Amino acid sequence: MTQRVVLAYSGGLDTSVCIGWIAEATGAEVVAVAVDVGQGGESLDVIRKRALACGAVEAEVVDAKDEFAQEYCLPAIKANGLYMDRYPLVSALSRPVIVKHLVAAARKHGADTVAHGCTGKGNDQVRFEAGISSLAPDLTCIAPVRDYAMTRDKAIAFAESKGLPIATSKKSPYSIDANVFGRAIETGFLEDIWNGPIEDIYEYTQNPATPREADEVVITFERGVPVAIDGRAVSVLQAVQELNERAGAQGVGRIDIVEDRLVGIKSREVYEAPGAIALITAHQELENVTVERELARYKRQVEQRWSELVYDGLWYSPLKRALDGFVEEANEHVSGDIRMTLHGGRAVVTGRRSGESLYDFSLATYDTGDTFDQSQAKGFIDIFGLSTKIAARRDLAQ
């Protein structure tokens, strides 16, 4: 039986060329797999037909938008997943769901190798290959751009020589990756970190400086899951999509960051993730109301490590799975409503209410009805600060 290679297929120039390139380099048949995680653009049917026209022996397309939102974006919301406290893991979250379908296709079609179009200096090569090795340690991975020196010039020449049905003349100055959770823009003039972003690079967000009326929204959560917007029941996918539109119209979710790549270099990235930022902001505030202090403090440490693991491509790792259990438990009481004002590039919380609230008005108030016994505070302070007081006596005596 002829060897088969499953290729993560986007429909663009590089992965279209990869089909024939892999066949010539390895003698294998190529099965193309395209996974829709809400990136927009061409229809899945058009992409499937292009893969076949470029030489794939079979082509599969998967509508994974709901799966992506429910099984990958939702855990990130519950974990307040922000790499370096700012980046909502837009690209990192989509890789494990794509990996899952690549492995399933390899099993279905009897392939022993999975291929992707990533370069040798980015994070995605690690995310694909570490994910594949976690789900299917027996599979081999290849990356033509990295392993076979498939430069863009060579790719264009190959496409033209083979008459592939793909445009080869126009090249965007940017590298763009998009899904329903956000959009990432890099390279081009952005590689000079002194250059500011221009409005032309954005699609999910409007200019926050443009005068417009504010938008008020109420997001309802049940155990950390967004279940309603302004009282209307929504799925996780619908929540992200609606807030992409509404928060995006207010310029919410623009991020310009020099981040630490896993491979050891610093990279300037521009992101726009209006729905993600709005939902994480709301979720964080509802946790402030409903999660006990010591649990909340420890969860913030877990959130940082969780985000690093996902960014580094270790979605399927034992530690990530263990931390998922902690995050689920920590969200047990995160239910209620958050009111937010979306305006001028910001999502600002203006109201909170929850049947699981730990906020006690009678303890918090300074007015009549205060039930907090202030007379106990002096003794508490004396004991709380005792060890520091003893150390200070020693230090001052030296």
* DSSP secondary structure letter of residue 87: B
Q: Which of 133, 175, 235, 317 is catalytic?
A: 175
13 annotated to bind ligand: yes
53 annotated to bind ligand: no
Catalytic (active site) residue 256: no
What does the DSSP assignment read for 265-299? Answer: -EEEEEEE-HHHHHHHHHHHHHHHHHS-HHHHHHH
12 annotated to bind ligand: yes
* Cβ-based neighbour number of residue 28 at 10 Å: 19
| Cα 84 → chain centroid | 13
Q: Which of 4, 48, 95, 183 is catalytic?
A: 95
d(CA 316, CA 102): 15
8 annotated to bind ligand: yes
11 annotated to bind ligand: yes
* Cβ-based neighbour number of residue 31 at 10 Å: 26
Q: Is 302 exposed, middle or buried (0-12, 13-18, 19+ CB in 10 A)?
A: middle
The answer to whether 255 and 270 have CB atoms below 8 angstroms apart is yes
Q: Which of 4, 124, 267, 307 is catalytic?
A: 124
Find all residues with CB under 8 Å of 181, minimum gap 6, and list them.
38, 68, 69, 73, 76, 88, 89, 90, 93, 94, 240, 273, 275, 276
9 annotated to bind ligand: yes
d(CA 69, CA 67): 5
253 annotated to bind ligand: no
Q: Which of 14, 50, 183, 335 is catalytic?
A: 14
d(CA 239, CA 242): 5
* DSSP secondary structure letter of residue 312: T
Catalytic (active site) residue 175: yes
16 annotated to bind ligand: yes
Catalytic (active site) residue 375: no
Find all residues with CB under 8 Å of 170, minimum gap 6, and list them.
none
10 annotated to bind ligand: yes
Amino acid, res. 181? F
Extract long-range pairs of 164-168: CB within 8 Å, 24+ residues apart: 164/16, 164/17, 164/20, 164/53, 164/54, 165/50, 165/53, 165/54, 166/12, 166/13, 166/16, 166/17, 166/50, 166/54, 167/13, 168/13
d(CA 183, CA 349): 24
271 annotated to bind ligand: yes
Which residues are part of a known binding site for L-aspartate? 119, 123-124
Catalytic (active-site) positions: 14, 95, 124, 175
Which residues are part of a known binding site for L-citrulline? 87, 123, 127, 175, 259, 271
Which residues are part of a known binding site for ATP? 8-16, 117
Which residues are part of a known binding site? 8-16, 87, 117, 119, 123-124, 127, 175, 259, 271
